């Protein structure tokens, strides 16, 4: 066995083949108090829109692929309290996006929410459990 074969064997041992395939998802990150939405597993750059919303942009998009691959909504606990969205249950991501537009009446934010963030959400990703919420 040459060093290349040994390297491949080591990598396969570290990363077993039964690893699950990526699925688009939305989840609450309690430590950072944010909801993260990912639609593709790829190298990406975060582009901050304002203090609440950041979009993820694919660093190497295919010519026919959407270059936007996710977004993050920050300060979710405060936002849920302020807009009566509840902290002990799940929250709809679309409701948070509506609250963002209502609280930041800005044309750029509205375009980003309606033409970048909303199209990334499907019905399986719209509801997020706020586990560990205080």
Domain range for residue 57? 22-129
Rounded mean pLDDT of 70-95? 85
Handedness of CA 92, 76, 28, 109 (dihedral sign): positive
- Residue 58 is inside which H or E element, if any? strand 53-58
User: pLDDT tens-digit profile of 10-57?
Assistant: 777 777 666 678 899 999 998 999 999 999 999 999 999 999 999 999
User: pLDDT tens-digit profile of 111-133?
Assistant: 999 999 999 999 888 999 887 54
Rounded CA separation 55/71 (Å): 4
CA max distance for the chain: 64
* Residue 13 lies inside a defined structural domain of this protein: no
**Domains in the chain, number:** 1
* Residue 90 lies inside a defined structural domain of this protein: yes
* Residue 114 lies inside a defined structural domain of this protein: yes
């Amino acid at each position: 066995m040459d060093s290349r074969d040994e390297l491949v064997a080591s990598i396969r041992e570290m990363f077993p083949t039964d690893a699950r395939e990526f699925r688009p998802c939305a989840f609450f990150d309690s430590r950072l108090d944010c909801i993260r939405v990912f639609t593709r597993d790829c190298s990406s750059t975060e582009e901050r829109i304002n203090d609440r919303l950041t979009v993820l942009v694919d660093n190497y998009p295919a010519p026919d692929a959407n270059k936007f691959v996710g977004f993050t909504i920050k300060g979710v606990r405060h936002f849920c309290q302020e807009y009566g969205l509840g902290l002990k249950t799940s929250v709809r991501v679309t409701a948070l996006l509506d609250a963002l537009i209502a609280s930041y009446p800005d044309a750029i934010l509205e375009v980003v929410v309606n033409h970048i963030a909303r199209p990334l959400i499907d019905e399986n990703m719209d509801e997020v459990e706020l586990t560990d919420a205080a």
